[in-house]
Chain A
Amino acid sequence: MSLPMSLAETGVVSTGESVFFWIVAPLAVLAALGLLFARKAVYAAMCVVFVMISLAGFYIVQEALFLGVAQIVVYTGAIMMLFLFVLMLVGVDASDSVVETLKGQRWIAAIGGLGLIALIAAVALRATMPAPRGLELANEDTNPVGVARLLFSDYVLVVEISGVLLVTAAVGAVVLTRAERLRPKRTQREVLEEKMAAYAAVGDTGLRGLPAPGVYARHNAADVPALGADGKPIEDSVPRVLRIRGQQRSIASVSPELAAQLEASTSTHAGDGGARSVTQSGQPGMPGTEPAPGTTTVDGERPTSQSTEDTGTKRAEQEEQQ
């Protein structure tokens, strides 16, 4: 006989299975003890994940391929990850107090657990069992097909009912974890009307969108304020969080030369703001920097969109006229 002796003929499992069992079973028991003794809940969860995976190995070795795969997918993939999510939600350091609330509970529980082990082991070892048959016959058309045949013939009603159970559980979880609504729901219209009322009452309340930080400020990070058309930094353009933490930076700290230019240009234009009609801004980096104040303005014309060359020729014409 070339094939290894089957379970039905010998009553004992194959050597490979024994080796697997004696390697994995002690590790699984150790990991299970980790659930009992690990201080941190996440370690306990990882220990249970290990136990689940080794149990999946046992299922596959015991000719229950379908359940072995389902064990990995359902337990380690879904359930234990759900546990980890909830641990993160509740706080990893969800304190596990060492204080005994019931006196002697720890010893009673430990003795009870050890007694349970002894009892189950004694029953399992001493019971008279029929000779094991093995699943060769039942798994003729592979194990998943065999399980599916049973599930969808003898147990089809139970499958339907468990579908209902799963739907109920999902709805129940949603209902249980839904947050209570503390104040009435605000519609978009109400939000808008509130904003408009605040604008009418107070004035500039940020009804417009805030300007983006860093635009035209020689620096594109969010911690530098944007420059307004008048060359002054707009503090509102820096995100509120950065301002509260004191992490915003001035333009001078990013680009000293730009700050100096701004200083020069604003001081030049300071006095003649009323005298000039709308012209080029005269800010650094903009066309029209060089012309001195007063010379760029031609009454009745709109020089804002002109390039420097145009202004240059115009100035030449003006000089000729004078």
Chain B
Amino acid sequence: MTLVNYLVLSGILFSIGAMAVLLRRNSIIALMGVELMLNAANLTLITFARWHGNLHGEVFAFFVMLVAAAEVVIGLAIVVSIFRTRRSASIDDVNLLKN
């Protein structure tokens, strides 16, 4: 087994996360799909850090984690405030810009 296995695993997880964003209507689950994609990217970064023998990739992954934390806080706050006004967490119900 070589390090390529990690890259393939990360690709699979990334695609599943992307499909979750596209397929699920619940906005919270869609956000979880985004998290899964970010994590898959982190796995790639860490694998390449090991590949190239320096820690810059790990530092990148660290910053991705940090930005993901900030993103999820704001994303969930938006979900909560939309739920408060529209009583729904479904993505399809957010359609004020339609028509």
Contact = CB atoms under 8 A, between A and B. Distances in A.
B4 A86 contact: no
B83 to A, nearest CB: 5
Contacts of B67: 162, 165
B70 A120 contact: no
B49 A135 contact: yes
B59 A155 contact: yes
Interface in B42-93: 42-43, 46-47, 49-56, 58-59, 61-63, 65-74, 76-81, 83-84, 88-90, 92
Contacts of B46: 58-59, 62, 64, 67
Nearest to B62: A67
B78 A176 contact: yes
A162 B66 contact: yes
Contact of B43 (A11, A41, A55, A125): A55
Contacts of A113: 15-16, 18-19, 22
Contacts of B90: 94-97
A146 interface: yes
Contacts, number: 248
B59 A150 contact: yes
Nearest to A129: B51
Contacts of A176: 74, 77-78, 80-81
Contacts of B56: 150, 154
A172 B17 contact: no
A170 B36 contact: no
Given A62-B6, A147-B58, A132 B39 contact: no
Interface residues of A, number: 89
Interface stretch (A77-85, A187-195, A243-251): A77-85
A173 interface: yes
- Identify which of B3, B55, B56, B81 gathers the most chain A CB atoms within 10 Å of its CB: B55
Contact of B14 (A86, A95, A120): A120
A151 interface: yes
Contact of A28 (B9, B50, B79): B9
A11 B88 CA distance: 52
A97 B90 CA distance: 8
A207 interface: no
A82 B73 contact: yes
Given A12-B2, A79-B68, A96-B26, A172 B74 contact: yes
B77 A172 contact: yes
Contacts of B6: 21, 58, 62
Contacts of B24: 36, 44, 96
A78 to B, nearest CB: 7
4 nearest A-B pairs in the assembled complex, by CB-CB distance:
A133-B53, A120-B11, A113-B19, A169-B70
Interface of A: 7-8, 11-13, 17-18, 21-22, 25, 28-29, 32-33, 35-36, 41, 44-45, 48, 51-52, 55, 58-59, 62-64, 66-67, 70-71, 74-75, 78-79, 82-83, 86-87, 89-91, 94-97, 101, 105-106, 109-110, 112-114, 116-117, 120-121, 124-125, 129-130, 132-135, 137-139, 143, 146-147, 150-151, 154-155, 158, 162, 165-166, 168-170, 172-173, 176-177, 179
Given A75-B65, A79-B69, A90-B28, 14 more contacts: A21-B9, A32-B12, A32-B13, A32-B36, A35-B17, A94-B90, A97-B90, A120-B7, A132-B2, A137-B53, A143-B55, A147-B62, A155-B59, A169-B71
30 contacts: A12-B1, A13-B2, A32-B12, A32-B13, A32-B16, A33-B16, A35-B29, A35-B32, A36-B20, A48-B35, A58-B9, A59-B42, A62-B46, A64-B58, A66-B58, A67-B58, A67-B61, A70-B65, A74-B69, A89-B83, A97-B25, A105-B22, A110-B19, A112-B19, A113-B15, A114-B15, A133-B50, A133-B52, A138-B53, A162-B67
